[in-house]
Amino acid sequence: MTDRSGIFAGDDPFAIARAWLAEAEASEPNDPNAIALATVDEAGLPNVRMVLLKEIEDGAFVFYTNYESAKAREIEAGGKAAFVMHWKSLRRQIRVRGVTEREDGPKADEYFASRSLKSRLGAWASRQSQPLESRSALMAEVARVTARHGTNPPRPPFWGGFRITPVEIEFWADGAFRLHDRFVWRRTSPEEAWRVARLSP
Ligand SMILES: Cc1cc2nc3c(=O)[nH]c(=O)nc-3n(C[C@H](O)[C@H](O)[C@H](O)COP(=O)(O)O)c2cc1C
């Protein structure tokens, strides 16, 4: 049906995404797992910011954040999100659109525990996306949570992951003369089978 081969070969889009990310890990100077995460606010105004993709599961993409942040509020209002990852060194992008759920169980605990102590305390200290009077106010909060939690802070109840289960994944690779290759996996809901199509560049 489609003439897929080479870097687009295989039927499992999560396996292809993992393979592309592994290639990018070898060639990108920084943050090969950075994604631009898009949401919409209550007025329908799009919003976008970078976050780090922490896992490509067999059926979903996982990142971590503060549940009281603007992005988390926007995600939870509609239960949907999209992201793009772009690798300048490979001249490739992956676009994902899907439905969201919290990852706030043992997996989130485990990931939180793997972070450096300063990052764990920082997560406790930051009221992400809220106005902050000054840098020194933030540092005072870091000192306060350090005194309270010491060297073994638990995962804050307001911090954890989101899992994005796609209904659409597009793989894009640069081609000569702007004749890029694009393949999209689509389904109307996560319960359905994927349909794959080649798209015009
Ligand atoms: C490369 C990069 C990676 C980032 N990774 C994360 C992340 O994994 N989680 C996160 O909450 N914010 C991350 N940030 C900060 C976000 O871009 C953003 O400033 C913050 O989450 C607040 O966004 P919001 O107000 O829209 O919720 C990252 C920023 C950059 C530039």
- Measured from the Cα of 70, ligand 1's closest atom is 27
In a domain, 154, yes or no: no
Average of pLDDT values for 100-120? Answer: 98
Task: Indicate whether 76 pLDDT > 60.
Answer: yes
Whether the per-residue pLDDT at 176 is higher than 90: the answer is no
Ligand 1 pocket check: which of 33, 45, 49 to mutate, most ligand atoms within 8 Å of Cβ? 49
Cα–Cα dist 153/23, whole Å: 35
Q: What value does the mean pLDDT take over residues 28-52?
A: 98
pLDDT band at 194 (very low <50, low <70, confident <90, very high): very high
Structural domain tally of the chain?
1
Backbone angles phi, psi at 134, to 5 degrees: -165, 165
Domain for residue 150, yes or no?
no
- Name 155's Cβ contacts closer than 8 Å, sequence gap at least 6: 108, 109, 112, 113
Q: Does residue 130 form part of some domain?
A: no
Does residue 15 lie within any of the structural domains? yes
Query: Mean pLDDT, the chain, as a whole number?
Result: 97
CATH classification of the domain holding 48: 2.30.110.10
Q: What average pLDDT does this structure show over 6-33? A: 97
**Calpha distance 33→193 (Å, rounded):** 27
Query: Is 132 part of a structural domain of the chain?
Result: no
pLDDT at 177: 84
Q: Give me the mean pLDDT over the 48-74 stretch.
A: 98
| Structural domain contains residue 78 | yes
Question: In the structure, what pLDDT confidence band is assigned to residue 123 with cuts at 50, 70 and 90?
Answer: very high
79 phi, psi to nearest 5 deg: 70, 25
| 1 appears as a binding residue in the annotation | no
Residue 115 belongs to some domain of the structure: no
Has 65 been labeled as part of a binding site? yes
Check residue 36 and give its pLDDT: 99
CA dist., res. 95 & res. 75, Å (int): 17
Cα–Cα distances in angstroms (integers) from residue 124 to residues 19, 121, 139, 149, in the given order: 34, 5, 12, 9
* 178 noted as active-site residue: yes
Q: Assess if residue 11 is contained within a domain.
A: yes
| β-sheet bridge partners, residue 182 | 172, 199
pLDDT for 132 beyond 60: yes
Q: What is the DSSP letter of 153?
A: P
Compute φ and ψ for 54, nearest 5 degrees.
Answer: -100, -20
- Return the ligand 1 atom nearest residue 34 CA: 1
Largest distance between two CA atoms of the chain: 62
pLDDT tier, 18 (very low <50, low <70, confident <90, very high otherwise): very high
In the predicted structure, residue 1 carries a pLDDT above the cut 70 = no
> Of 108, 116, 92, which is closest to residue 22 (Cα–Cα)?
92
Ligand 1, from 39, 45, 51: best to mutate by most atoms within 8 Å of Cβ?
51
pLDDT band of residue 175 (cuts 50, 70, 90) is confident
Residue with tokens 């081609």: 175
Domain enclosing residue 53, as ranges = 6-107+159-199
Per-residue model confidence (pLDDT) at position 58: 96
52 in contact with ligand 1, CB cutoff 6 A: yes
Cα atoms in the Cβ-side hemisphere of radius 13 Å centred on 151: 0
